[in-house]
Amino acid sequence: MSPMTREFSPRRIPGSDVAEYYSRRARGGVGLIITEGVAIDDPASVDHPRVPAMYGAEALAGWRAVTDAVHAGGGKIFPQLWHQGVLRNPSRAEFPEVPARRPSGFWGTPGLTSYPSEYVEAMRTPTAPMTDEDIADVVGSFARAARDAILFAGFDGIALHGAHGYLIDTFFWDVTNRRTDRYGETPKGRAAFGAEIIRAIRAEIGDTIPIMFRFSQHKQQDYEARFADTPEVLEVILGALADAGADIFDASSRRFNRPAFEGSPLTLAGWAKKLTGKPTMAVGGIGLNNWLQDTLKARNETVSIDNLDEAAGYIERGEFDFLGVGRALLNDPNWPEHVRNHEVFLNFDRSLLERLE
C-alpha cells in the first residue's frame, strides 16, 4: 500500500478509526503498508493539524494500536516520516509564525502545477536559507521519530518521504538548492542532507530494520521538473543514499510504466535498481486509468482497469521488485483478493477522499 495523505488524526493522534482503516487493508491481503505522511517533531514539519505525528506519548500509543491491528491482520507496516519543507502552507499550519525550512530560501520555479496562482505567488517570496543548526535539528528530529516508531510504536521498518518537492527533495533539486557549502553545488553535495538523515536513523534503529526511501523526478511546484537530467546524476544521488543505509527505493512516478530518460525504456524504478542494486518499488496508476491529480481535481472519471499483467511483466523481467498501490486500495481494502481471484475491480468512489473507510 502506497502512502496517501488522509488528515484524520485530531491533535495529531491516530485513533481507532485509523487503526481500523489500516488493518482492513492488511486483512484484505496487503503485504506491506506504508502509512500516510507522519510529522516529525520539528515545528515546521507539516501544516494541517490533523496530520498524525510520531512524537508524544498519546500519538505513539495511537500508532501502537495501529501496528498491533495490522500485525493481527497478517501485514507489515512502515511509517512514512515527512517534512513538508517549502510546501508547508503557513495559512493552515498549527504554528503559522514558524518560518519554513528551505535549503536556500527558494520555493521553486513554478511550472505545471496544481496549486492556485495566489498560493504560488505568496509562497514564492524568498525566505532565509536553513542554517547548519537548522539542518542538524531536522536530522535529529527524523532520527528521534524513527527510533520511537520502532521502539515504542512497533513498526516493522521506516519509510522516508524524499519526493514531490518536500524538504529532502528540495536539497536534491538545483532550482531550490543553491547552496555553496557541503550541502550544495554538486549532485554529491545535494545528496548529503538526505544521506545524513539516513545515517542518523540507521544509528538509532540498528542494521537489521529496513529503511525505504521515496524519491521522484516530478515536483508539486512543477510536474515536469527533474532533479536528475541524466542517469549519471541519478546514480550519484541514489548511490549516496544507498551507501548511507537505504535498503529499498520507492520510485514515485505519475505512471509506473513511464520511461525515465530519453533513449531507454527503463522506468524510474528500473533505473534505481540498475544503479544501486537495491530492491525497488514502482507506483503510479496501478489498477486505474488516470493519474492522481486527475482524481483529486475531478478531471475525467477515474475508472478501474486491469493493467496487472503489464506490471507483473516488469517484475518477472527483474526491472523492479514491488508494486505500490494507492488509490485502488483506498477505494477497496479487498483489492488484493480481487486480484488473486481474477475478479472485476471496483470503479473509484471519489467520496472516499473525504472519509476514512
Nearest 5°: the CA angle 312, 314, 318 is 115
How would DSSP label each residue in 293-320?
A: HHHHTT-S---B---HHHHHHHHHTTS-
The cell numbers describing 60, all together, are: 505513539
Beta strand spans in the chain (E): 32-39, 76-82, 158-161, 211-216, 248-252, 280-283, 322-324
Annotated active-site residue 314? The verdict is no
Q: How far is Cα 64 from Cα 174, in angstroms, rounded to an integer?
A: 39
- The SS3 of residue 205 is helix
**Cβ atoms < 10 Å from Cβ of 95:** 13
Catalytic, out of 22, 166, 183, 314: 166
- Helices of type H across 206-290: 231-244, 268-276
Q: How far is Cα 213 from Cα 242, in angstroms, rounded to an integer?
A: 9
Contacts 24+ apart (CB under 8 A), 94-98: 94/43, 94/47, 94/49, 95/43, 95/44, 98/43, 98/44
The cell numbers describing 29, all together, are: 491481503
Question: Which residues are marked as active site?
Answer: 166
